[in-house]
Amino acid sequence: MPLCRFQLHATGSEIVRLGWVDQEQERVYELSDTLAHLLRLDGQERLRVLGELRRSAVATFPLRSVVMRAPVDEQEVWAAGVTYERSRDARIEESTQEELYDRVYDAERPELFFKAPGWRCVGDGQPVGIRADSTWDVPEPELTVVIDAGGEIVGYTIGNDLSSRSIEGENALYLPQAKIYHASCALGPWIVLREELPDVSDLNISMVVVRDEQAVWSGTVSTASLHRQVEDLIAYLYRALTFPSGALLMTGTGLVPPAEFTLQSGDRVAIEIEGIGKLTNRALRLESR
């Protein structure tokens, strides 16, 4: 059963709780723990604690009575770039420094960048942002790994690495502004534990963008086209950083719509990853400040 963070929308309570999702029974079991605490434990201890928490779940709620929040609390979210051929080609197309992307695609060291602190991430059903000062924007559907403090994979979720192609394309040094802005990181709907999804080497990732009830773009890619090993990406991330409460790592996009596409306010973006679930968010253009 997946691990989630949820709120009870009927009570209007702001409290975000940790839970197990029983999809068959359509119920959520509240667990009296935090994701940060679970990610501080090593694998065996975590499984033992999870088993105990499951037996002593403090309360249960119908799935329809809760809203999912991003499955992240104290962690930082990092992202890998140019890990699929399609992403490399898209950067070459948008950039004035195209050789950078060709080089990083084949280099031993991957491109890794900071995406968001946990508190800035949005969950399933919450709006995602489009920068007011950007003219060319895309969602990026990415297999996202949840990693513990020791660098072990705990599970997987779905990530949407919202990006401004116009800002990144203008100058690669603008990458942080192209990637980090209000509601530019969506995660969810929950975390599927590694024990329940032991092999992620060939999972379909699909995305559809719906505008005025019409699909305006859709595509599918398999993680088999990922040009890096997930374990190598993690090893690079943990080389010179510690993550006492664990970390999340987006593994890059293999789906980039053609150049004439840009995300518009009101678009609904739905991303599905086989074995994990579906993450849906509506895009909203942010106000200029």
Interface positions with ligand DO4 (CB under 6 A): 79, 81-83, 87, 91, 111, 140, 161, 163, 252-253
The stretch near Mg ion (CB under 5 A) out of 19-27, 37-45, 140-148, 195-203 is 140-148
Task: Find the part of the chain contacting Mg ion (CB under 5 A) among 16-24, 37-45, 153-161, 201-209.
Answer: 153-161
Contact 72, 249 (CB under 8 A): no
Question: Closest approach of Cβ 212 to Mg ion, in Å?
Answer: 27
The count of residues in the chain is: 289
State the Cα angle at 156 between 266 and 85, rounded to 5°: 70
Nearer to ligand DO4, 114 or 218 (CB): 114
Q: Give yes or no for residue 161 binding Mg ion (CB under 5 A).
A: yes
Taking CB within 5 to 8 Å according to partner kind, which of Mg ion, ligand DO4, none is near residue 17?
none
Residues with Cβ within 8 Å of 210's Cβ and at least 6 positions away in sequence, in order, are 216, 267, 268, 269, 270
From the list ligand DO4, Mg ion, none, pick the one residue 91 interacts with, judged by a Cβ distance below 5 to 8 Å according to partner type: ligand DO4
Q: Does 251 bind Mg ion (CB under 5 A)?
A: no
Q: How far is the CB of 59 from ligand DO4 (least distance, A)?
A: 39
In DSSP notation, 224-282 reads GG-SS-HHHHHHHHHSS---TT-EEEE---S----TT----TT-EEEEEETTTEEEEEE
Q: Which is nearer to Mg ion, 86 or 285 (CB)?
A: 86
Question: Angle at the Cα of 80 (from 131 to 205), degrees rounded to 5?
Answer: 85
User: What one-letter code names the amino acid at 215?
Assistant: A
Question: Which segment (99-107, 183-191, 248-256, 274-282) binds Mg ion by CB under 5 A?
Answer: 248-256
Rounded distance, CA 281 to CA 125, Å? 5
Instruction: Figure out which of the listed residues 253, 254, 269, 277 binds Mg ion, where binding follows CB under 5 A.
Output: 253
